[in-house]
């Protein structure tokens, strides 16, 4: 302790990973570079969204609406909930942080499956709460029985990420119903549906209906993936009124810019156009999974805009050998590789490379 630099940091800071910015993909041998490492939407903004935010830019000398009034109303209408049940934030990561700050502090436990979304442990640690990471099953699914068994009197929040990042699988409605029957209602269960628009499995959980049927369930959604607004930072929570109110209180004041609010509102108005693009992503995913399977890879079915290759010890070998193809993918050393369903050309290049990798 004595040799730590002064002024001193909170104890929890030592546990936080140092942020590593995603590697920029360089073009190699004249090959165009593709970034398939962050689950972004490869489509450019809709013309209508671009026009609206250009107009909104004329007002950047003003603070935005701190309560995202118009957006909150649009979200409430879309899901047939009251505006009191909605809270917005700077991306659903921002909302996730607001939730934990409102609910869990020192001595409290925040539970999630692992591996899952990397923000959960970081945000929990920053809040000074205790991380309870329950391993996924060997097929990459949430082990809800093990999660139930890990509940203690200190558990305050449980995140259920479905489809799960990075493994791509879903939790079924039947599984979550059984789970919720046994979770004490004092615990908030947050269903993180960042990728829900890409799901095609009819057995998957309906987060909003589940939220409506319980007093201790909330849903997290984002405009970053299916709606293609990752760079603008807008996400939201729908859940019990007193929780939504608390989540609004812990938000960074004026965090969601007027440009972001405008883009989100216009995106909701143009959902049909956006969802055509989602269909294209799903078709591409089906093709990509099929090609990889033909090559002999075993991969869990994905319901998201990425696929998971559980390569285990061969993960780094795969990533190192793929460096010449100018496509950024996301390695989790010792576990696997996550590949976003972005530009088709990038995915085709991976298939070509993967043929050599297996042979």
Q: Give the binding site for ligand PLP (CB under 6 A).
A: 39, 91-93, 117, 161, 165, 192, 194, 222, 224-225, 230, 235
Name the residue nearer to ligand PLP (CB basis): 39 or 257: 39
Distance of closest approach, residue 162 Cβ to ligand PLP, in angstroms: 9
- Phi first, then psi, for residue 35 (nearest 5°) are -105, 105
Q: What is the Cα–Cα distance from 290 to 277, expressed in whole angstroms?
A: 20
Asked if residues 161 and 113 have their Cβ atoms less than 8 Å apart, the reply is yes
Calpha distance 93→221 (Å, rounded): 10
Which residues fall within 8 angstroms of residue 341, CB to CB, at 6 or more apart? 36, 281, 284, 285, 288, 305, 306, 307, 347
Residue nearest to ligand PLP (CB): 91
- The nearest distance, CB 70 to ligand PLP, in angstroms, is 19
Q: Which is nearer to ligand PLP, 225 or 349 (CB)?
A: 225
**Which CB, 103 or 326, lies closer to ligand PLP?**
103
Identity of the residue, 235 or 240, whose beta carbon is nearer to ligand PLP in the bound complex: 235
Handedness of CA 93, 256, 238, 262 (dihedral sign): negative
- Distance from C-alpha of 87 to C-alpha of 236, rounded to nearest angstrom: 6
What's the rounded Cα separation, in Å, for the pair 119 and 99? 13
For ligand PLP, the closer of residues 191 and 299 by Cβ is: 191
CB of 91 to ligand PLP, least distance (A): 2
Query: In sequence order, what are the residues at sequence separation of 6 or more whose Cβ sits closer than 8 angstroms to the Cβ of residue 227?
Result: 41, 264, 267, 274
| Minimal distance, residue 197 CB to ligand PLP, in Å | 12
- Shortest spacing between CB 60 and ligand PLP, in angstroms: 21
In angstroms, give the least distance from the CB of 123 to ligand PLP: 11
How would you list the strands of the sheet with 86-89, edge to edge?
86-89, 235-238, 217-222, 188-192, 155-161, 109-114, 130-135
CB of 90 to ligand PLP, least distance (A): 7
Is 20 in contact with 38 (CB distance < 8 Å)?
no
Q: Which residue in 242, 254, 237, 228 sits closest to 53, CA to CA?
A: 228
Judged by beta carbon, residue 39 or residue 315, the one nearer ligand PLP is: 39
Q: Which is nearer to ligand PLP, 91 or 169 (CB)?
A: 91
């Amino acid at each position: 302790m004595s040799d730590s630099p002064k002024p001193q940091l909170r104890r929890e800071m030592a546990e936080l990973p140092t942020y590593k910015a995603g590697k920029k993909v360089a073009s190699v041998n004249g090959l165009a570079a593709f970034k398939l490492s962050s689950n972004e939407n490869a489509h450019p903004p809709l013309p209508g969204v671009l026009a609206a935010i250009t107009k909104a830019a004329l007002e950047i000398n003003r603070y935005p609406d701190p309560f995202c009034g118009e957006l909150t109303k649009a979200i409430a209408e879309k899901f047939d909930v009251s505006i009191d049940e909605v809270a917005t934030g700077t991306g659903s990561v921002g909302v996730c942080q607001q939730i934990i700050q409102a609910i869990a502090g020192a001595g409290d436990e925040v539970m999630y499956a692992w591996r899952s979304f990397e923000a959960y442990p970081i945000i929990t640690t920053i809040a000074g709460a205790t991380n309870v990471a329950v391993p996924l099953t060997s097929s990459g699914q949430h082990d809800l029985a093990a999660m139930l068994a890990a509940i203690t009197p200190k558990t305050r929040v449980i995140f259920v990420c479905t489809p799960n990042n990075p493994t791509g699988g879903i939790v079924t409605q039947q599984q979550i119903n059984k789970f919720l029957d046994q979770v004490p209602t004092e615990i908030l269960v947050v269903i993180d549906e960042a990728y829900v628009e890409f799901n095609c499995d009819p057995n998957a959980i309906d987060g909003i209906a589940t939220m409506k049927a319980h007093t201790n369930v909330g849903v997290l959604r984002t405009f970053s993936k299916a709606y293609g607004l990752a760079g603008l930072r807008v996400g939201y929570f729908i859940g019990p009124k007193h929780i939504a109110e608390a989540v609004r209180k812990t938000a960074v004041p004026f965090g969601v810019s007027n440009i972001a609010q405008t883009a989100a509102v216009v995106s909701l108005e143009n959902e049909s156009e956006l969802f055509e693009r989602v269909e294209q992503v799903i078709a591409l995913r089906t093709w990509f999974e099929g090609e990889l399977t033909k090559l002999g890879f075993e991969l869990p079915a994905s319901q998201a805009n990425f696929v998971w290759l559980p390569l285990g010890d061969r993960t780094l070998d795969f990533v190192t050998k793929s460096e010449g193809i100018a496509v950024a993918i996301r390695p989790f050393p010792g576990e696997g590789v996550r590949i976003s369903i972005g530009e088709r050309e990038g995915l085709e290049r991976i298939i070509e490379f993967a043929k050599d990798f297996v042979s």
